[in-house]
Structure 1
């Protein structure tokens, strides 16, 4: 379950991404193009400590890019290379925002969703102390099966930042598709998604055991 607060962020997520995206080798678009949100989905952190959100964004006439993010209330140990920036959240205070491909909490959540045939977290909006269900047009689904074995992930060994971005751990290897143009079709269990304007399932990520 993901709880969404009615809050102001300074800078906004899109402002952070507008400054960060042009420096990525997999980014395709003009450096000064406005970054626009296309869709988003979230996963649960079982410990309830880390926010996990994947944003799908476009810039100018470029393709839709997939950007998984994690939000933390303190810096990620050893995560300097993956820090996108910090934001001031009007409810939660200062938050550290990371490229989630370098965050073991996201990597474990993604592998689990794919291998067990799971989906995105249910979203609830906090309104006057109450939690109200929040409808989202974005639906993601793993190709695995409920109850499947999910290997434990104790560390990320390396991340190869390309399209797709490869995340190698001690037990699984993941491939996170960055440019959602339908060009990346890989073997292995997959996460696919649909959203407004994309009614046919689009491959988003893959996982294979090592």
Structure 2
């Protein structure tokens, strides 16, 4: 049994200097522009042969003891403050493995000199001691060499750190995936709550939830710091699979139909296992779309200025249709950030993952009930990019075939969205696709202007859906 302890963090200045140089180089680091970093809490761990967890934090906390020679994990929670951050403030998790210099290993950040001597500091997300300490804290037994056999950090992860652990025991014997959350929010984490509920309901459309590490700071709600789920065998990233098929000019229609059915099942299960949302406030819903559309037009006036009237007309039509319904449609829990990159295909079946939404947004916003068509729109936008990135011979046709089958399969399985008639559902989906495409236009205009034709074509299709 591992004892987990939480206490104030007061790092040695040398730790602060090291992290100040290292943090901005990490892809998951949310800081941009002028950001101040204030250490907040240190989470430490002690095994059955150690007196307590407070005595191993070394140069990071008020516990203050000299670090042991053997590598050990400390989770440092820091408050980030800056105008560019959502809400002006975030809490980031920085897992650090500390050791003497003789035990320098994977993920080495640097060596600091303290009053007690030299300490090697490692990125705990890239170090086996960090992985195994988290596994033990979540109740997974086993020795380091056994649990980390063939383990590796997944490349390309931007918001968190995910570790592939095929030797970790699991119900199906396939191993486990450890996700270390880099942005920490108060209260239950949606990527714990939703997969846990779906797994408990027996649904196999998500990787099986195996556990999570939760700590309880004295002055705030409990927070989740790491999540463990069962490894999906022989899995391919959904976006990479779609791009590969497009590159060979092979149809995605069969997979699109399977994804449509999966999405319908997901929405039905979410209605069953999580509390219902309130009736849709149509005025507020459309107002949110208007605000985001106006911001996009203002930030990309060359590309969108000439389309502003048509954008307003579509949103006017949606507002009229929603107001004419006999009753407001219900809302429900949805994925919220669904696209092909949030899916896996393995052993002939699709699975949905990553229910956390945008990590830098407040949990209340990320988990707000919504129309299920929000997820449909997100998946449709993925097909455009897969066709273009993959280099399909006829990207428009490849996308149209996949999109048509996804919508048909979803409709066959789910029927009309609850509370919407066919015409209103069609206009609502167009508006939600437009909402995503406008965001993409702004992003591409800033970062990848040669890709602007992809979202601009989607904007035009949403505004004029006629063939």
Superimposed CA distance per residue, residues 36-78 of structure 1 (whole angstroms, 9 cap, x where no aligned partner): 0121111236696123210000221331001110111126566
Equivalent of residue 132 in structure 2, options 108, 113, 138 = 108
Q: Distance in 1 between matches of 2:11 and 2:75?
A: 19
1:167 counterpart residue number:
163
**Pairs within 5 Å for 1:49-198:** 49-60=70-81, 61-74=88-101, 79=106, 82-91=107-116, 93-115=117-139, 149-150=141-142, 152-155=146-149, 157-160=151-154, 161-172=157-168, 173-181=177-185, 182=189, 184-185=191-192, 186=195, 187-198=209-220
* Distance across 2 between alignment mates of 1:10 and 1:175: 29
Which of structures 1 and 2 has the larger relative contact order (alpha carbons within 8 angstroms, sep 6+)?
1
- In the alignment, the residues of structure 2 paired with residue 14 and residue 55 of structure 1 have an alpha-carbon distance, to the nearest angstrom, of 11
Contact 1:72 1:97 in 2 (8 A): yes
In structure 2, the CA distance between the partners of 1:87 and 1:63, relative to structure 1 (3 Å rule), is same
Larger relative strand fraction: 1
Contact 2:150 2:167 in 1 (8 A): no
Distance 1:69 1:198, change over 3 A: same
User: How far apart are residue 24 of structure 1 and its match?
Assistant: 1.4
In the TM superposition, residue 194 of structure 1 has moved relative to its aligned partner by 2.2
Residue 195 of structure 1 deviates from its aligned partner by 1.6
Paired residues in the alignment total 169
Alpha carbons of structure 1 residues 75 and 27: separation in structure 2 relative to 1, 3 Å: farther
Q: How does 1:25-64 map to 2 (within 5 A)?
A: 25-44=27-46, 49-60=70-81, 61-64=88-91
Any unmatched runs of 5+ in structure 1? Answer: 117-148
Is residue 191–residue 206 contact of structure 1 (8 Å, CA) maintained in 2?
Answer: yes
For residues 39 and 28 of structure 2, what CA distance do their matches in structure 1 show? 18
TM-score (norm 2): 0.33
Task: Kindly name which structure, 1 or 2, has the bigger radius of gyration based on alpha carbons.
Answer: 2
Looking at structure 2, the residues matched to 63 and 52 of structure 1 have their Cα atoms a distance apart, in angstroms, of: 22
Deviation at 1:96, TM superposition (A): 1.0
Structure 2 unmatched runs, 5+ = 5-9, 51-67, 82-87, 169-176, 196-208, 232-467
Asked if the contact 2:73/2:97 (under 8 Å) is kept, the reply is yes
